[in-house]
Amino acid sequence: MLGASWKVLWSIQIAASVWDRSFVHAQEIRGVAPEDQHLYQGLAHNKSQWTCLNDSSIVLSVDQINDDYCDCPDGSDEPGTGACSGRSRFYCRNEGFMPRYIAGYKVEDGLCDCCDCSDETSWEPHLRGATCDALAREYESLLAQELATYEQGRKALVQLRKRYGVDSITSEPLAERINKLAEELSAVVREIEQQKGALASVLQLYESKLAQDNPMASKFTKLDVKYVTKAVDDVFTNSERLSRAHKELRDILDTLVTTYNPKLRDNAVNANMEKYIDYSETASGKKRYDPALDKMQCKQLQKYFGSELEEVFLDGRTTTSNKEVIPKFHVARSLVLSRISDKDDILTAVTHLRGIMDDISSNYNVNFQDSGVIAAIKDYRRYLARYPDKSLDFELPTRLTEELDSIGRFVVTEAGNLEKEDSMGGLWGHLNNLRDYIAPSTSYSGLKSQIAALEQSLQTLTQKRDALERQWKSTKQEQESQHTYTHEELLLKDTEQLLEKLDDFCISSKFDEYTYHICFNPDSGRILQVQDRDQSVIVVGYFKDFKLVSQRARDAYINQLQTRSTDVDLIAHLTNYVPGSGHELLLGNLPEIHNGLLLSYANGHKCWNGPYRSAEVFVLCGPEYKLTAVHEPSTCRYHFELSGPLGCALDFAYSKPT
């Protein structure tokens, strides 16, 4: 009896609702947005008739709108009931919050899907969720938090770009940027000319004083000793790294010879060990190179070319006996030439030894579990991370030998004159000191200080000029190509320009039992995986390319928001229903805080019985760099999710949902 009464009451309620809708039809149709109300007016020639919105051949009475019976295939006749299920949609006004559409099947289901409960007209109680006011407060809080996080990330990105001297190419029109670069370039060129003039004047005064008072010192200033000093430092620094790479590789193989188990009969290991032992008996194999010796000799030669020669021939003061001047130069010269000649020999040796370890790493029998072999391979992987392929070769300074010969001729010619000046009991040095004391502004030391300061200033200005010229030429070529770039193309070029400058920029982030080192530069970028337990290193991959995937960034960001959703279920109330397409989230352009940066890495260390490792790094906007997820969707193919400033869009400005 109670059930029957409930049915009668429900029928009366629905009937009353239908009658009421017909009565107010001319005023407002339930479930229809204000801007679409005109679509539900009667036909021009017959106000009592109406046609389905997507099929004008179906003519209905206006009384059939919202009569709880689905007459139109597209569900347009039932915007205010659930009769057409998912084919129709209901408009929620949601005063105080966000208007949206819900699917038709949610109307009159006893649950308030609209925060104003306009989708439910039956008697109380309804199953209510958060009110519109509560949702509005929650949304404003979310929006403020997300925009604050974005602003922190954007500022960090701006600082990074300033640090590496990268200007945004999307921030101003091309012609304006060309004019601005030209003006900056002209100003720098004028300043360079002024500094050159000042330097020339000081040099002229300095050289005239030297020519008059000390002809030998005047000749010395015409030698390019600074170039030799810098070139020697480059040669020995690179040679030290090359020697260290050779020594560490020999240490790995020497240890392996004594720790591997030949009785296991691992063909790959045994054959390569015999190969290494045979090599060690050759003339090349007996040579050992000491990086510590390179480092020590580099310091000695820096002192010799950087200060001792100047003290002897320019300042007239030295602790070196005049008889030792020529032999000391020949020793210095032979050290430099010896290190130059050793370069190719060491590179050849390293290449040969790496071939042995590469063969062992790729072909050893993992089933034997030879502890000596396993340890050597781990050490070798760490070695490869420190010395990537082709990173040990270096170019020799082109003029070094020529300039050394010029200095040598000067030393041999002028060494005899040092004995004559020395016989004066150091009078020249005393005169110099007295002159400095009496007139410091025009003294030799004072003039040398001015020259050094002007040369440093000129070097800085020249570097700035060269950078501006490159930017101006590149921008001019872009303009002359008469190609109109889309906004997306400009963003790609802008990102490429930034990544190319990040030659020494890497981030480290711990995730589970590993620490990952990710470098972003297209030339030297790579991903290293370091196991916390034993510090073993695996190269996950080397930089391959990048792209901007805005839709993927949007999807990932929305997934993040849904994961962080609060008890008031804000995300559900921001979901807008679109028949045939599913749902969309009413966030305005908020997801566009992310630029969608996706970097690809390939050709990492080879997996055992598998492919070479590779990876994708997807970057979302954040104030600091942090790995948020690491996946392996297929064998040795990794996916990293990273938050940090590189994922932030520079040109974002928030706009509300429409």
**Tokens, residue 440:** 């410091």
- Band of the pLDDT at 6, cuts 50, 70, 90? very low
Note whether residue 516 is domain-resident. yes
Residues 6+ apart with CB under 8 A from 79: 29, 30, 31, 32, 65, 66, 88, 89, 90, 91, 104
* Residue 253 covered by a domain: yes
Question: Are residues 242 and 375 both part of a single domain?
Answer: yes
Measured between alpha carbons, how far is 128 from 157 in angstroms, rounded to an integer? 44
The enclosing domain of 595 has a CATH number of 2.70.130.10
Q: Mean of the per-residue pLDDT values for the chain?
A: 86
What are 179-200's pLDDT values in tens digits? 888 899 989 999 999 999 998 8
pTM: 0.55
Percent of the chain predicted with pLDDT > 90: 57
Q: Does the pLDDT at position 175 exceed 60? A: yes
pLDDT > 80? residue 481: no
- The answer on pLDDT for 24 being more than 60 is no
Same domain, 120 and 230: no
**pLDDT for the residue numbered 601:** 96
CA 295 to chain centre: 33
Least confident of 282-296, 306-320, 581-595: 306-320
Residue 391: pLDDT band (50, 70, 90) is confident
Residue 455 lies in a domain: no
At 213, is the pLDDT very low, low, confident or very high (cuts 50, 70, 90)?
confident
382 and 526 part of one domain: no
**Quick check: bond before 327 cis, omega within 30?**
no
Same domain, 236 and 376: yes
Is 172 domain-assigned?
no
Determine, yes or no, domain membership for 77: yes
pLDDT band of 577, cuts 50, 70, 90 = very high
Q: Within this chain, do residues 370 and 507 fall inside the same structural domain, yes or no?
A: no
Domain tally, the chain = 3
Q: Is residue 295 part of a domain?
A: yes
pLDDT (average), residues 316-341: 84
The dihedral formed by the CA atoms of 429, 435, 440 and 442, expressed in degrees to the nearest 10: -100
- Same domain as 642, residue 523: yes
Instruction: Let me know whether 120 and 9 are in one domain.
Output: yes
Q: Is residue 543 part of a domain?
A: yes
Q: DSSP readout, 445-504? A: HHHHHHHHHHHHHHHHHHHHHHHHHHHHHHHHHHHHTT----HHHHHHHHHHHHHHH-TT
Grade residue 118 by pLDDT with cuts at 50, 70 and 90.
Answer: very high
End-to-end CA distance of the chain: 50
Whether 509 and 643 map to the same domain: the answer is yes
Domain boundary among 129, 161, 194: 129
61: left (phi over 0), alpha (psi -120 to 50) or beta: beta
Cα 443 to Cα 437: distance, rounded to the nearest angstrom: 8
Is residue 310 within a helix (H) or strand (E), and if so which, with residue range? helix 309-313
Quick one: pLDDT at residue 256? 96
Comparing 7 with 318, which gets the higher pLDDT?
A: 318
- Pick from 376, 398, 420: which residue ends a domain? 398
Token code pair at residue 402: 């020529």
What's the pLDDT tens digit per position in 200-210?
888 888 888 87
Q: Say if 273 falls within a structural domain.
A: yes
Range of the domain at 350: 225-398
**Among the ranges given (5-19, 316-330, 335-349, 377-391), the one the predictor scored with the smallest mean pLDDT:** 5-19
In the predicted model, is pLDDT for residue 225 greater than 50? yes
Percent above pLDDT 70 for the chain: 88
Specify whether 271 is located in the same domain as 393.
yes
Which of 81, 99, 129 marks a domain boundary? 129
**Pair (370, 506) in one structural domain:** no
Task: Give 231's pLDDT tier (boundaries 50, 70, 90).
Answer: very high
Query: Mean pLDDT throughout 431-452?
Result: 59
- Tens of pLDDT, residue by residue over 401-420, are 999 999 999 999 888 777 55
